[in-house]
Amino acid sequence: MSRKFFGTDGVRGKVGAEPMTVEFALRLASAAARVLAPNGGSVLIGKDTRVSGYMFEAALEAGFVAAGVNVYLSGPLPTPGVAFMTQRFGCDFGVVISASHNPFDDNGIKFFDRLGGKLSDALEAEIEKGLAEPPTTVESRRLGRAVRVDRSRTHYQEFCAATLPEGMRLDGLKLVIDCANGAAYKVAPRVLADLGAEIVPIGCSPNGRNINDGCGSMQPGLLQLTVPGVRADAGIALDGDGDRLVMVDHLGRLVDGDQLLYVIARGRHENGGFPGPVVGTVMSNLGLEHALAELGLPFRRAAVGDRYVLELLRETGGVLGGEASGHLLCLDKTTTGDGLVSALQVIAVMRQSGAKLAELASHMSRYPQVLLNVKVARRVDLATLPTVAAAVAAAEGRLKDTGRVVLRPSGTEPLIRVMVEGRDESVVRAEAEGLAAVVRAAAGG
């Protein structure tokens, strides 16, 4: 079944416009309850720091309780924390209210199953089918109950700390932590401080409207200035819901998701190995593939989206995967992308090797890669645009085996992403701009 509202990471949009309305959230809760907990049960609801989170939390709570589902309300908690606590509380499913790295006037709703994994496309399609029905209200004796479990975040903090090698502490390390004024603003600094690190927090003062605003993994400029400015060993930048990670070395240079995935993989390889291939996406830098090959580690590419990386990891028996954007998966540690857990894995490699992050990242050379976003009026099937297909074929012919071209629609925004990668940056940029112009002419808004 096709999905109208669910994208690559749940339902997302501008607050006040369908689907991000209170009325839709109420129907969505009712539909989800019928599919995921048809005989009653329980759900954990977490959220980031957006001001609109309060109203969506209330709407979802009402829909679940009316359908006979008990509700646990965690308050602000990173997306991976909700996944973990869903398992910890033995809930039938979990819900996160967040638009991740988007600005504050967007919001979204995404689901986890009872094991802390993302729902399959088929289950999301079943929930969408149920949106056509009015919200369910069971008889009074079967109504669910709601309870706040805000203090439960300490369980998640303990879990994160436990993903470090046994006995490892962070004493003597100075770290800058940027939480994007988002969901991790309490738990991330506390985990690092409890492990003994000296921390300098930025982006840890949310006001409901400053999430991802000039800070976090999408805008790490302040972090890049702060790390060398305070002579820190490294900087950690999460996004608004805490599932993305980028880092900054002691010189203030950005270390992206591809490089971090390489650092973790190399560290695991040198300390006994790990099962399965490393999994990236069609957007992963060619330099990552080549650097892993030098270590004798196989590499596979999935479709863009951490859910598809996860699916390929499960299919191949792998445990490490991720995206350049910073969605990293360490399935031997947790069930979903977790920015804080991933940062701890990188720091563990730093401690075990005695090397700085700059040195660890230098073993992977990044090919020049240009990514341009082309706004479109509506979602469009690129295969139906012959001028675009011809332009892609021509660009690939010119690049031959020295580069790659990837065009894909965004799963969360009305954009076509045009990516060109190759050895010569000037050639790559020219090809990307040319392709973007063709896409804009054929499908631009």
The residues that bridge with 112 in the sheet, in sequence order, are: 94, 118
342 given a catalytic annotation: no
| Contact predicate 324/260, CB 8 Å | no
Sole residue written with tokens 């300098």: 200
Element (H, E) at 96: strand 93-97
Backbone angles phi, psi at 14, to 5 degrees: -75, 130
The residues that bridge with 255 in the sheet, in sequence order, are: 247
Q: Return all residues near 173 (Cβ < 8 A) that are at least 6 apart.
A: 196, 197, 198, 233, 234, 347
Q: Where are the beta strands (DSSP E) in 243-362?
A: 245-248, 254-255, 278-281, 299-302, 320-322, 328-330
CA distance linking residue 140 with residue 33, whole number of Å: 17
Element (H, E) at 349: helix 339-353
CA angle, residues 211, 194, 50, in degrees to nearest 5: 15
CA distance linking residue 212 with residue 241, whole number of Å: 10
- Structure tokens that stand for 176 in this block: 């800058």
Selecting among 100, 152, 217, 325, the annotated active-site residue is 100
Q: What is the amino acid identity at position 221? A: G
- Structure tokens that stand for 254 in this block: 């950005």
Q: Which residues are catalytic?
A: 100
